[in-house]
Structure 1
């Protein structure tokens, strides 16, 4: 039995990180050489040597948080702008570190030169690694198992991915186990896209594991509840304790303290941007500067969310409540830019100070739609076990106007995986999506609505 390659495992990632650190360090040496005509003054360089351990630790932390070492969902341009973003933050943080560390002989010109040098060298290196990754790990063939609608949705989603890392080659709609056995050598990954009979599901898992294939599962409720379980030992038996969709009171208190502190600091920092935006909104269209709308937060409680107005003042006068969509005709010309840059969300920092919202959490929805969504999906109210957020897991990894079920899965996954470090990662990656046009777009609702009448692409073998 041939064992499948594990791809870029942790050992390879560690080597990549070490090489990143080496290139980053060499970029500083090169910057010193360029700045001082190949004759580095010792009293300047010794400041860098003293600060370098802290600089390198922050460098590794930021790159991990921005996802630079996760490659399956990337394309070449991602590495370019992610490298520049991280190095920009590094420049600011290095200036702060050298000030508080009293390394005053660390030249500010070196920070500027190293930003340019490190951005170029790291980008070249990461593009080489990415090319090797694609060549070594290759494209993975995916076999999708489930009912017709869920399989079509899975195919549509995978086909819209940034790269060709995963390609659906087979779809099995019935007689799952028998058809899976017959085609076991023709794919790398089995994706169970819908709920299956427990007996059949267990046998599929066993078959996949014994044949060293990868297994993908949908984020259905029964799968989500198994995330981050607590393992208990009672006498001679190990028991799995399922975690509810909540965070502990202690975590909630720490999260609230951090939310209040960060929101207050951010309001002070972005106040000039908010003032300019307020003036632009007022002079470019009729209506109030701020837009208030009733939303739902923790405990099903209603509150007024604050935003800079991006639509005409009478946007829903005739249509009534309507969900945001791609290319929404109600959005003003200025509103398009405010939305794409997420500037319209800045007034929500006031909501965070008041305790209505958190910096990170499920995006708050309107009561009109919450009632509809709960009627369709009985688990929807679980997202209200924590405060609503300005940004969230769904906003970073999903699309701007994805359908509510997809967003709900992200929200429940966020609650199950919650940690302070996870919040920091989402906050940092929110910056990334400003440069990613896909994140600002809505899902193609017409394609989703037509799944029932659509057919599978011709290059996919459908087995019934």
Structure 2
């Protein structure tokens, strides 16, 4: 842990952020040099080229944060990581195109931004692959202790140990405590492990009354150790919110409920713009998707399901059909598993490529 401005940051997070900032900067700098060659010195020094590249670098890093690329626990598979990596240069290209249309003098010009984006895309794939190997090395692994017992804590421990790409080492959990599970026993076991260097404590206790070591957790928090709820980690790894395990206080005090009118309007405009451009890009393949669905299995091309939105508002969600027509005849709407026999052959490809989301 490194302390900057009274905030503790893991070393590997700083390596990731610094490495990507350097890669973005170098990619656009190299793009400018390849396009301008002998004139690159003039463009960079006398036409504010370095400042323009610095602004673009900041925009790209914001896109990384927007797509949760600094929170690897949200990636359900390695393909999810690479898919989000592709979204970053895509969104950056849209923003640069808009800025270039409104403020043409802001861009370096001569196609250098396009060349920089191509270099950036290739470099990001190589860097993230190398970083995935790097965080699994002992000196950069994040040491985690799971404070809790029972099925929930055990499921969390197993999930963390199976996700080696997270670079997390579970050094222990309360289920290993011998004897009666009192507050004193839990606190003693926790402090013994923390003395060995724990970076994060995840609380997964079903009943916290009289058992949770509040004083010890507060001391760890002051030392820079992160204290987090198990529900947030289970949500990240599974992509689902375990409603039955939520505490009322989690909803009452959590952020995320306050949105200004300007924020909602901007989010709506960006969503509409991004979806319209994406629809134009994928439009040529839509007829082939429709033909593949019709040839693979009988039934309609589109699948319609009723959903509940904010304030109880009911709406219909449309997707390309990926299951048999009678998939929900016996069981009703249920979650689809990895090897769900109801999924068709074409549907399996559409789900993995997210093409079923086009409608």
TM-score normalised over the length of structure 1: 0.55
- CA-based RMSD: 4.4
Q: Displacement, 1:181? A: 0.8
> 5+ unaligned residues in a row in structure 2: which ranges?
176-180, 232-245
Q: Which aligned pairs between 1:159-174 and structure 2 lie closer than 5 A?
A: 159-163=161-165, 165-173=167-175, 174=181
Report 1 or 2 for greater relative contact order, CA contacts < 8 Å, sequence distance ≥ 6.
1
Any idea what SS the aligned residue of 1:314 has?
coil
Deviation at 1:144, TM superposition (A): 2.4
**Offset at residue 252 of structure 1 (A):** 8.7
1:338-364 deviations in Å (ceiling 9; x for gaps): 2222222222xxxxxxxxxxxxxxxxx
Q: 1:334 to 1:258 in 2, by over 3 A?
A: same
Alignment size in residue pairs: 325
Matches within 5 A, 1:42-441: 49=49, 52=53, 54-70=55-71, 85-91=87-93, 93-103=95-105, 106-108=109-111, 110-121=112-123, 138-163=140-165, 165-173=167-175, 174-182=181-189, 184-187=191-194, 188=198, 189-201=200-212, 202-206=214-218, 208-209=220-221, 213-219=225-231, 220-222=246-248, 224-225=250-251, 227-228=253-254, 246-247=257-258, 250=261, 254=265, 257-258=268-269, 261-262=272-273, 265=276, 269=280, 270-347=282-359
1:221–1:43 Cα change, 3 Å: same
Q: Deviations over 1:205-251 (max 9, x none)?
A: 2454477644232233245236447xxxxxxxxxxxxxxx8555847
Q: Give the structure 2 partner of residue 420 of structure 1.
A: none
Q: Is the 8 A contact 2:136 2:164 kept in 1?
A: no
1:395-430 residue CA offsets vs partner (Å, 9 max, x unmatched): xxxxxxxxxxxxxxxxxxxxxxxxxxxxxxxxxxxx
Calculate the TM-score normalised by the size of structure 2: 0.69
8 Å contact 2:149–2:205 — kept in the other structure? Answer: yes
Deviation (angstroms), 1:276: 4.0
Unmatched segments (≥5 aa) in structure 1 = 230-244, 348-464
**Does the 8 A contact of 2:135 with 2:141 survive in 1?**
no
Cα distance in structure 2, aligned partners of 1:339 and 1:76: 15
Q: List per-residue Cα deviations over 1:257-280 (Å, max 9, x = no partner).
A: 538844873586254444443343
**What is the rounded CA distance, in whole Å, between the counterparts of 2:11 and 2:79 in structure 1?**
20
C-alpha deviation, 1:193, in angstroms: 0.4
Deviation of 1:162 after TM superposition, in Å, equals 4.2
8 Å CA contact 1:138–1:165 kept in 2: the answer is yes
Deviation for aligned residue 1:28:
2.2
Pairwise CA distance, 1:178:
1.8
The C-alpha deviation readout for 1:420-457, integer Å capped at 9, x for no partner, is xxxxxxxxxxxxxxxxxxxxxxxxxxxxxxxxxxxxxx
Residue aligned with 1:158, SS:
helix
